[in-house]
């Protein structure tokens, strides 16, 4: 094996004993039947309120389990626009349907967790794009004004403006979101977190390069501040980012690394509100754990991670993280236990953001996978996996290497490992690129989305 000396900016990767502030699960069902054209048939809705005899899965039992047994503190509660207004675009919130959804929200709040209201319509209503030929901005603003008024008194509510917008005029979408943010704040929800979603299904792979991140981060509160305006981020691990394939081809650290770099330079925050993988197969287990460890390691810019999904999904659903009740207790599947809960619990408390790292002469398009727990064991060994095909090498004397106590061994075919790494408050640097650019993440209309197999997946 060739021994090469490499200067590495470890701070760029957010390395440090850290974990995200919020860990959670999507408690699905209210969005069942929704398609990427924004059509959401009311007859498909299965609110996860089994204990209230109002729908599918036992969302109440699941949230209590996740909060009490696993320490989760954020639950995402998807719902369709159509359900909230009883399929009458532009109408006030339907009293009966809102009451049903509110039972889910109040059940969530009773756990002490934060609860995310997610409008799951892909920036559309029955094929028409909001503010771009479909529903007007005013109709969308009206929806959110009413919801903000309803929940303004609860500081534990999170407003996710829209699930996975796609194929949008981004400046027009950002202008629409600005109107909604202003309306939410004006309705009395002055300080609650608002998640701002980008185009191309809110994919981490294209938020920065596609221009969504910059456009959304220009949105402000009425007072001109950006407090609690957070970039919404999604990403799956399969070939087309659709969440419909059992095979996981990436650990997404390149994509999330690009978003983390953007947020760090902009001095802003992001929240990963949807990600998931198939629970079967060692590749998915390894890559999903690697991804979530990386997100936790970059907790200076990522404030939360919400996995997909439990609620009314049966355990046979491809991306199920629905716990099983064995008659006495709830039991997580291995994916949820190892890759969602353990990668968080085995990390330590949230750390302050490091100072932004100045850009170098060579662009970093992706970052290696970092196992966040490896440097908590006392050995100070940091593992970076993934075949490295491009590295910036600086000739360095052995004396310099010894003074930083860092040696990097690599060749063209082996994983890279930093041996005998010092305590992470010692400035050491690395610049690398991994074996591929971020995976393209277009959810083609020709590809079935994760709800098309719903009849086989729900309880």
Residue located via tokens 């974990």: 19
**Distance separating alpha carbons of residues 27 and 20, to the nearest angstrom:** 20
How far apart (Å, rounded) are the C-alpha atoms in residues 335 and 327?
Answer: 21
CA dist., res. 89 & res. 135, Å (int): 8
Instruction: Report how far residue 437's alpha carbon sits from residue 435's, in angstroms, rounded to the nearest whole number.
Output: 7
CB 260 within 8 A of CB 301: yes
Strand partners, 270: 231, 302
Query: What separation, in Å, do the N-terminal and C-terminal C-alpha atoms of the chain show?
Result: 53
Asked, as a colleague might, if the bond just before 385 is cis with ω within 30 of 0, I would say no
Find where tokens 């709800």 sit.
Answer: 451
The catalytic residue among 150, 274, 290, 431 is 274
Alpha-carbon distance of 35 to 27, in angstroms, equals: 18
- 5 exposure class (CB count in 10 Å sphere: 0-12, 13-18, 19+): middle
Strand residue runs (E) in 267-414: 270-275, 302-311, 324-325, 330-331, 369-370, 382-385, 388-391, 407-409
Strand-pair category, 324-325 with 429-430: unpaired
| CA dist list (Å): 87 to 102, 125, 135, 176, 281 | 18, 10, 13, 22, 41
Among candidate residues 164, 258, 290, 431, the one labeled active-site is 164
Question: Phi, psi at residue 305, to the nearest 5°?
Answer: -145, 120
Cα–Cα distances (Å) from 316 to 47, 321, 363, 457, in that order, read: 18, 10, 43, 6
Any catalytic annotation for residue 392? no
Residues in a beta bridge with 27:
310
Nearest to 417 by CA among 455, 375, 361, 358: 375
**Strand ranges across the sheet with 3-4:** 3-4, 407-409, 416-419, 382-385, 369-370
Q: Give the C-alpha separation, 256 to 364, whole Å.
A: 12
Q: What is the DSSP letter of 354?
A: P
**Annotated catalytic residue 160:** no
Maximum separation of any 2 CA atoms in the chain, in Å: 73
Residues that are catalytic: 164, 274
């Amino acid at each position: 094996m060739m021994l090469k000396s490499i200067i590495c900016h470890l701070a760029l990767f957010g390395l440090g004993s850290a974990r995200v502030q919020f860990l959670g699960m999507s408690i699905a069902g209210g969005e069942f039947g929704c398609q990427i054209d924004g059509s959401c048939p009311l007859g498909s809705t299965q609110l996860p309120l089994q204990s209230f005899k109002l729908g599918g899965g036992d969302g109440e039992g699941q949230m209590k389990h996740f909060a009490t047994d696993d320490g989760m503190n954020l639950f995402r509660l998807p719902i369709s626009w159509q359900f909230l207004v009883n399929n009458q675009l532009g109408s006030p919130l339907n009293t009966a349907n809102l009451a049903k959804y509110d039972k889910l929200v109040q059940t969530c709040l009773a756990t002490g967790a934060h609860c995310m209201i997610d409008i799951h319509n892909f920036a559309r209503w029955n094929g028409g794009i909001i503010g771009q030929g479909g529903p007007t901005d005013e109709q969308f603003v009206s929806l959110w004004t009413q919801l903000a008024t309803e929940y303004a008194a609860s500081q534990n509510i999170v407003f996710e403006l829209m699930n996975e917008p796609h194929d949008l005029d981004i400046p027009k979408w950002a202008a629409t979101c600005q109107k909604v943010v202003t309306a939410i704040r004006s309705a009395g929800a002055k300080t609650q977190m608002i998640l701002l979603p980008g185009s191309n299904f809110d994919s981490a792979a294209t938020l920065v390069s596609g221009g969504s991140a910059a456009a959304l981060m220009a949105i402000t509160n009425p007072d001109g501040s950006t407090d609690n305006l957070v970039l919404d981020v999604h990403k799956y691990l399969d070939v087309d980012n659709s969440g419909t394939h059992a095979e996981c081809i990436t650990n997404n650290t390149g994509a999330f690394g690009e978003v983390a770099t953007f947020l760090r330079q902009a001095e802003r925050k992001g929240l990963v509100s949807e990600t998931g993988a198939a629970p079967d197969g060692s590749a998915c287990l390894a890559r999903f754990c690697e991804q979530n460890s990386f997100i936790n390691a970059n907790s200076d810019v990522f404030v939360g991670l919400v996995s997909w999904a439990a609620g009314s999904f049966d355990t046979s659903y491809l991306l199920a993280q629905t716990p099983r009740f064995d008659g006495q207790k709830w039991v997580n599947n291995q994916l949820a236990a190892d890759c969602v809960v353990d990668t968080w619990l085995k990390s330590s408390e949230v750390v302050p953001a490091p100072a932004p790292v100045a850009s170098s002469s060579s662009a970093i398009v992706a970052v290696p996978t970092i196992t966040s727990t490896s440097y908590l064991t006392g050995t100070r060994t940091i593992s970076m996996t993934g075949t490295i095909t491009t590295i910036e090498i600086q000739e360095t004397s052995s004396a310099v290497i010894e003074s930083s106590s860092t040696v990097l061994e690599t060749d063209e075919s082996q994983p890279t490992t930093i041996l005998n790494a010092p305590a992470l408050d010692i400035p050491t640097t690395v610049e690398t690129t991994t074996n591929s650019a971020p995976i393209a993440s277009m959810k083609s209309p020709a590809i079935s989305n994760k709800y098309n197999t719903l009849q086989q997946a729900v309880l």
